[in-house]
Amino acid sequence: MKMMHKHFLGLAMIAAIGPAFISTANAQLYFEIAKAPERAPKIAIIPFSNDQAIYPVVEQDLNRSGRFTSASKNLPATASLDNVNAEAWKAAGVPYVVLGDSKQNADGSFSIRYQLYDVEKQNFLLNELLTVPASRIRSAAHMISDTIYQALTGIKGDFSGRIAYVLRNPATPEQRYTLQIADTDGEQPKTVLSSRDPILSPAWTPDAKKIAYVSFETKRPAIYVQDLATGTREKLAGFKGLNGAPSFSPDGKYMLFTASMHDNPEIYQMDLTTRQVKRMTQDTAIDTEARYAPDGKSFIFTSDRGGSAQIYRYTFADESTKRLTFRGAFNARGSLSADGQYVALVHRPSGSNYKVAIQEISTGVTNILTPTSLDESPSFSPNGQMVVYATREGNRGLLAIMSTDGRFRMNLPSEQGEVREPAWAPK
């Protein structure tokens, strides 16, 4: 048997949000699986002993990964920790089994032991012990899902990640716009800011401890950054005219943003230590929506300098600008994958509506990802396997998450209002 590993999961390790500082009066997102792969490896989730909270989350996470079909009900065989009953699972055609139990410790924390068993190889891929505070049971379940996903795919899981988004609810005029953060399954929402005035373009700092956004609370657009643990915030950009589309450099030392302080909307870079601002683009066209490359050596942005909205790359070393998109009548709102090889964007083919597409930068090959229309604001998951975006279905505005291979899609509508402007937190 594989040696059992121990993990101690503290508050500071898995929670950057302090509930004492962020409002918990939030509208719940709920998820709907809109498309699932027809064939995917089966994983049996044996209900954990002394637990009703952990294993259902693990089951749900693996189902929404788009890679597996998991179940904890109507199982064809039985199993318990260290006693898998491998032949029965093999006969039932189930290649993987997850087992576990949960015990409360004297200090109120929980010790969670879990195993992942490979039926074909007849060995344990995982045999882990996780210790967590009682308040972090759900976060621990997501972490277990991450570990299982990585063990089976070789890719880091993103179930323990977070998504920022803007909720618009006309029924509450004083809190018509709400910036919220939630788990990637829509659970555990936290409110960062509520306002009667628009909130736009949430952007995470690289350490995911702060979030920037555009607020119209003074009736003019300004960029603020807010510490999620303390709730404190400061204004970063409140220049004359437009201030929008913030993006932080990978080292967290700089911020790109769009401003029209010199009349025409251009890309500017701010040194966050000195607050000095440098103009990065100079063109008669509108330049906006800048995003740093993961290596920090360049950034992409949207410009209509070629006659229509297209995505360009600016390289810091030689100050050169290169057009990246050529297909379709419109390409904008680019978001780079963590490896820098792909860009997710809003794409409008000639004679069609706006959709999310993914373009491989090295080849220029563009694949339309979404079956919906009026899609906007795509954002990659940290592992590059999913894209979250805003869309419309009928009369409701909602978030959707789709695998980059197009095999899986889930919707995240709100119980109240419309959900827009998603941004997946880095890890």
**Position 1 pLDDT exceeds 90:** no
- Do residues 43 and 96 lie in contact, with contact meaning Cβ atoms separated by under 8 Å? yes
Return the C-alpha torsion angle 46, 50, 55, 57, nearest 10. Answer: 160
Q: Which residues contact 40 (CB under 8 A, 6 or more apart)?
A: 66, 67, 68, 69
Please report which helix (H) or strand (E) contains residue 131, including its range. strand 123-132
**Position 39 pLDDT exceeds 90:** no
- The model's pTM is 0.91
Q: Provide the percentage of residues in the chain whose pLDDT is more than 70.
A: 94
**Position 113 pLDDT exceeds 80:** yes
Structure confidence at residue 6 (pLDDT) = 53
Higher pLDDT among residues 372 and 161, named by residue: 161
**Position 7 pLDDT exceeds 60:** no
Confidence class for position 173, pLDDT limits 50, 70, 90 = confident
Averaged confidence pLDDT in the chain:
92
Structure confidence at residue 304 (pLDDT) = 95
Higher pLDDT among residues 318 and 349, named by residue: 318
Q: Which residues contact 83 (CB under 8 A, 6 or more apart)?
A: none
Which domains are delineated in the chain? 39-153 (3.40.50.10070), 162-424 (2.120.10.30)
**Position 2 pLDDT exceeds 70:** no
- Among 350, 367, 371, 349, smallest CA distance to 358 is for 367
For residue 4, the 8-state DSSP code is: P
Summarised one tens digit per residue, pLDDT across range 376-407 is 999 999 999 999 999 998 888 999 999 999 99
Structure confidence at residue 100 (pLDDT) = 97
Structure confidence at residue 282 (pLDDT) = 93
Beta-bridged to residue 48, according to DSSP, are: none
Higher pLDDT among residues 72 and 38, named by residue: 72
> ∠ CA(31), CA(36), CA(38), 5° rounding?
160
> ∠ CA(16), CA(17), CA(22), 5° rounding?
160
In three-state secondary structure terms, 91 is: helix
**Position 36 pLDDT exceeds 90:** no
CA gap 48, 114 in Å, rounded: 8
CA gap 26, 188 in Å, rounded: 9
Confidence class for position 25, pLDDT limits 50, 70, 90 = low
Residue 174 is encoded by which pair of tokens?
A: 């004083």
Structure confidence at residue 396 (pLDDT) = 86
- Do residues 187 and 204 lie in contact, with contact meaning Cβ atoms separated by under 8 Å? no
Higher pLDDT among residues 296 and 372, named by residue: 296
- At 71, phi and psi to the nearest 5? -155, 145
Confidence class for position 408, pLDDT limits 50, 70, 90 = very high
Lowest-confidence range among 15-19, 169-173, 382-386? 15-19
Confidence class for position 352, pLDDT limits 50, 70, 90 = confident
Q: Span 9-21, mean pLDDT?
A: 33
Summarised one tens digit per residue, pLDDT across range 305-332 is 999 999 999 999 999 999 999 999 999 9
C-alpha torsion sign, points 269, 275, 276, 282: positive
Q: Provide the percentage of residues in the chain whose pLDDT is more than 90.
A: 84
Structure confidence at residue 393 (pLDDT) = 87
**Position 153 pLDDT exceeds 50:** yes
